[in-house]
Amino acid sequence: MTAGPLCVAYLVNQYPHVSHSFIRREIRAAEEDGLRVLRVSIRRPSVTLVDKGDQEEQWQTQVLLDRGLLGLAAACAWTAGTRPVRWVRAAVLAWRLGRRSGRRLRAAVYLAEACLLVRWLRRGGAEHLHAHFGTNPTDVAVLARVLGGPPFSFTVHGPEEFDRPEALSLGDKIARAAFVVAVSSFGRSQLFRWCRPNDWPRVRVVRCGVDAAFLDGGPIPPTAEPRLVCVGRLAEQKGQLVLVDAAARLAKSGVDFQLVLAGDGPMRPQIESAIAAHGLGDRVRITGWLSNDAVRAEMVAARLVVLPSFAEGLPVVLMEALALGRPVVTTYVAGIPELVRNGANGWLVPAGDPVALAEALAEGLRTGTARLEDMGRAGVEAVRAAHDIRREASKLVELFTETSGRTPAARPDSVVATAGGK
């Protein structure tokens, strides 16, 4: 039996990334739990990394596309020459995946990436491969397995996987995986829709989580300022245009407020135009990308955190807000109601409804401090019960261990106590 701690490789399309802090927390918590982790990204992040933790992770991450087309072609040719039968099987599978998705050329690139990845995994001693997102990282993981790589698993977050499951060959990927992780019960139910009932037992729920920076301080008393913050990528599915519409309704009805949109993204020009059209330039501010510490500071300075999403998995920003004692205003979407209880730790409204959103924001802004503190405590308890990253990472380590037949290194007593306690 192999000596030393169990080694698992993580594969992500872009890692580290400003919107993937939850993956970084998971990796680091798994390492504290005795795992050795190899970090592999398909490509470099498309935005500047502003968080110190992300910058540290970047130094530890190998990037497949850094080898360029010549490097990928060389890895593909070497694999075809040394493992021709496996290469042909993988090539046939890549063609099938590409035909379903309508991206045959990309599927050929995924095959070359898988050839290079298998070499890196062998060199690094990886005994298991775990991909985040059921999109192209899992395509590469499936092909790497056919090429002789280690068993693999993947985490499905949504909503992209749920929007086009057939094009992504989701059922075939689930059938080939050692196990599959959903981040919510809702997510698990969607995976059940696209795989055989015989595969259902291998679909497990392991939730995203927050770390000690959010959990160990307890609820922070709410600010008296009528300040709202929305944290997220400026994109269609996050619903910021509906939020600007709701903000205009608040202003028209005489409600005093300030709104901060913490983030950046492709819809920034449209959102800025909407802010100007509604005459909200003195009330609404867009920050651009922020570090984790800066995002935390924005939430602490707010009275409420709002996320008017149209489509989600289960947003980590809601866990962060509730862990800080900030009630949230969000939508009845996907796994959100598993965490946010209407009237208990936040307000839930129908997605895409600016009138209902404005009403909920107005109610939250006029709610007294004592009631907000009660809701904040309820939010902290909800996050501690289901989203402590130390406990959730421990669940993943157990799954990796079961799959590999190996035992990870002994965990520090403090980690064992934390993971088994709350």
Within this chain, do residues 225 and 351 fall inside the same structural domain, yes or no? yes
Smallest CA-to-CA distance from 226 within 241, 240, 245, 247 is with 247
Q: What is the CATH number of the domain that holds 34?
A: 3.40.50.2000
- Residue 417 pLDDT: 37
Smallest CA-to-CA distance from 6 within 400, 413, 419 is with 400
- C-alpha distance from residue 222 to each of 225, 303, 304, 371, 396 (Å): 9, 6, 8, 10, 35
Look at residue 272 and tell me if it is in a domain.
Answer: yes
Q: What confidence category does residue 422 fall into, taking pLDDT thresholds of 50, 70 and 90?
A: very low
- Residue 413 pLDDT: 43
- C-alpha distance from residue 386 to each of 119, 290, 348 (Å): 37, 26, 19
3-state secondary structure of 18: coil
Which residue's structure tokens are 């090539």? 91
**And the tokens for 408?**
């990870």
Within this chain, do residues 364 and 333 fall inside the same structural domain, yes or no? yes
- Residue 3 pLDDT: 64
- Could you report the per-residue pLDDT of 357-415, keeping only the tens digit for each? 999 999 999 999 999 999 999 999 999 999 999 999 999 999 999 998 875 455 544 34
Say yes or no to pLDDT of 105 above 70: yes
Within this chain, do residues 371 and 398 fall inside the same structural domain, yes or no? no
Look at residue 138 and tell me if it is in a domain.
Answer: yes
Q: Residue 92: CB partners within 8 Å, gap ≥ 6?
A: none
Within this chain, do residues 160 and 264 fall inside the same structural domain, yes or no? no
Give me the mean pLDDT over the 69-79 stretch. 97
- Residue 419 pLDDT: 37
Look at residue 367 and tell me if it is in a domain.
Answer: yes
Calpha distance 363→125 (Å, rounded):
55
- Could you report the per-residue pLDDT of 135-181, keeping only the tens digit for each? 999 999 999 999 999 999 999 999 999 999 999 999 999 999 999 99
Range(s) of the domain holding residue 298: 212-386
Look at residue 201 and tell me if it is in a domain.
Answer: yes
Within this chain, do residues 349 and 400 fall inside the same structural domain, yes or no? no
Within this chain, do residues 362 and 397 fall inside the same structural domain, yes or no? no
Within this chain, do residues 13 and 143 fall inside the same structural domain, yes or no? yes
Smallest CA-to-CA distance from 365 within 225, 253, 220, 221 is with 225
Look at residue 193 and tell me if it is in a domain.
Answer: yes
Smallest CA-to-CA distance from 142 within 89, 211, 103, 84 is with 89
Please state, rounded to an integer, the average pLDDT across all residues of the chain: 94
Q: Provide the domain count of the chain.
A: 2
Q: Which residues of 328-358 are buried (b: 16+ CB within 10 A; e: fewer)?
A: bbbbebbbbbbbbeeeebbbbbebebbebbb
Within this chain, do residues 224 and 301 fall inside the same structural domain, yes or no? yes
Smallest CA-to-CA distance from 146 within 110, 171, 200 is with 110
Within this chain, do residues 62 and 102 fall inside the same structural domain, yes or no? yes
Q: Is the backbone peptide bond immediately before 151 cis, with ω within 30 degrees of 0?
A: no
Calpha distance 264→246 (Å, rounded):
20
DSSP 223: P
| Cα angle, residue 420 at apex, residues 419 and 422 outer, rounded to 5° | 85
Look at residue 104 and tell me if it is in a domain.
Answer: yes
- Residue 110 pLDDT: 98
Within this chain, do residues 63 and 178 fall inside the same structural domain, yes or no? yes
Smallest CA-to-CA distance from 317 within 205, 257, 229 is with 229
Within this chain, do residues 205 and 272 fall inside the same structural domain, yes or no? no
pTM of the model: 0.92
Calpha distance 123→29 (Å, rounded):
24
Give me the mean pLDDT over the 203-224 stretch. 92
Look at residue 1 and tell me if it is in a domain.
Answer: no
Within this chain, do residues 45 and 167 fall inside the same structural domain, yes or no? yes
Look at residue 2 and tell me if it is in a domain.
Answer: no
Highest-scoring range by mean pLDDT, 11-20, 112-121, 396-405:
112-121
Calpha distance 294→300 (Å, rounded):
10
